[in-house]
Structure 1
Amino acid sequence: MIFFTADTHFTDPRVLRLDKRPFPDLATHDAALVEAWNAAVGEDDEVWHLGDFARGGADHKTALLGRLHGRKHLVLGNNDDEATARASGWESVSAYREMELDGRKLVLCHYAFRTWNGSGKGALDLHGHSHGRLAPMTGQYDVGVDVFRFRPVTLPEILVSRRRRAKRDEISPKP
């Protein structure tokens, strides 16, 4: 199975304050994210992390990657330094990636695009960076942990999330 996530910000105290994540301290935050990741992802699954993985040195990040299930790929974010890119445990590191999954073309980047390769032909833009603060655009999905209960998600989960949001809006329209 293939999963997507972004903006874990392990070992980054700013997320508790800036993103108002519901954890009393950073150790609890990090432990909860590791637990949620490993509950969703199996050892043989593949995870595409779309940036802003963690703070700290390469050894710390390598140890953290070793605790997380799956074969992991990194698409670099604005907070991913050289130590993140060099950490042992990534199968690949890139700034941008395109792939096909379940017959859908996917464009993977840390940043949301206004338009992207194949956007007029059904390609989807998966991104992080915005921590769930951008208004949704057709074909564009924030896969960050702030949007998806602090865990990696599959493409079917990503697609159904928009349909669920639309259904909620039909039932209880915003004033």
Structure 2
Amino acid sequence: MTKVYFTSDHHFGHKAIIDYESRPFETVEQMNESMIASWNQTVGQTDQVFHLGDFSSLGKEETSQILSRLNGYKTLILGNHDRDRSRSWWLDAGFQEVSGNGIIYKDFFLLTHEPMYMNRHMPYVNIHGHIHGQKYEGINHFNVCVEHWNYKPVSFEAIMEALTSQQEASGNPPAES
């Protein structure tokens, strides 16, 4: 059965991100290889992955080599560090789908790179990246940056379990799926 995963902010090839985000890697090569291995230990060949931006700072050939090694059907929502390259650049590099804007998933989840303003009356949960180790409190945001998920994609089921727990703790009804 196909599973669905979400992730963001790998920053493949970006040496400075190791220091910026206190990532537990000695070199950019170690970081890249570790994140590829973690991805493939989590995601199967037929699974779907929504990457919510800031995938790679490498050139097209190196980015393509990484994408060819990653399991799953990969959709990219462009992040702030991806937007200097065209949608066709990312498709040529190996993503199956690329969106310059957010995507509504299952009529209830707003997938974006940057977190969106969501008040408690909005009917969506914003699954996002961009803010790395930070986290918004509340039941309307869910951060899938690699720093929160041991550098691997998080399943839709795990997101639903976490949201249900948060909503039960806050006394709100569970999210729709």
- Classify the TM-score, shorter chain: 0.7 to 0.9
Instruction: Report if aligned partners of 1:119, 1:139 keep a CA contact under 8 Å in 2.
Output: no
2:39 to 37, 40, 50: 37
Deviations 1:108-148 (A, max 9, x none): 110001228x9623x21100000031332322100110111
2:154 is the alignment partner of 1:153:
yes
Instruction: Report if aligned partners of 1:58, 1:86 keep a CA contact under 8 Å in 2.
Output: no
Residue type at the aligned position of 1:140:
H
1:35 positional shift: 0.3
Instruction: Report if aligned partners of 1:34, 1:67 keep a CA contact under 8 Å in 2.
Output: yes
2:90 is the alignment partner of 1:85:
yes
How many equivalent pairs are there? 161
Stretches of structure 2 lacking an aligned partner (at least 5 in a row)? 170-177
Residue type at the aligned position of 1:141:
F
1:112 to 110, 115, 120: 115
TM-score, structure 2 as length reference: 0.83
C-alpha spacing 1:65/1:93, structure 2 compared with 1 (3 Å): same
Counterpart in 1 of 2:125?
Answer: 124
Residue type at the aligned position of 2:108:
K
C-alpha spacing 1:124/1:27, structure 2 compared with 1 (3 Å): same
1:99 to 84, 101, 105: 105
Provide the secondary structure at the position in 1 that maps to 2:66.
helix
1:45 positional shift: 0.4
Instruction: Report if aligned partners of 1:73, 1:92 keep a CA contact under 8 Å in 2.
Output: yes
Cα distance in 1 for residues equivalent to 2:112 and 2:28: 26
Cα distance in 2 for residues equivalent to 1:40 and 1:119: 34
Instruction: Report if aligned partners of 2:91, 2:97 keep a CA contact under 8 Å in 1.
Output: no
Residue type at the aligned position of 2:95:
W
Cα distance in 1 for residues equivalent to 2:55 and 2:150: 16
2:65 to 59, 63, 66: 63
Stretches of structure 1 lacking an aligned partner (at least 5 in a row)? 168-175
Residue type at the aligned position of 1:107:
L
Provide the secondary structure at the position in 2 that maps to 1:160.
helix
Counterpart in 2 of 1:137?
Answer: 138
Instruction: Report if aligned partners of 1:61, 1:87 keep a CA contact under 8 Å in 2.
Output: no
Residue type at the aligned position of 2:115:
A
Cα distance in 2 for residues equivalent to 1:7 and 1:143: 9
Cα distance in 1 for residues equivalent to 2:92 and 2:79: 15
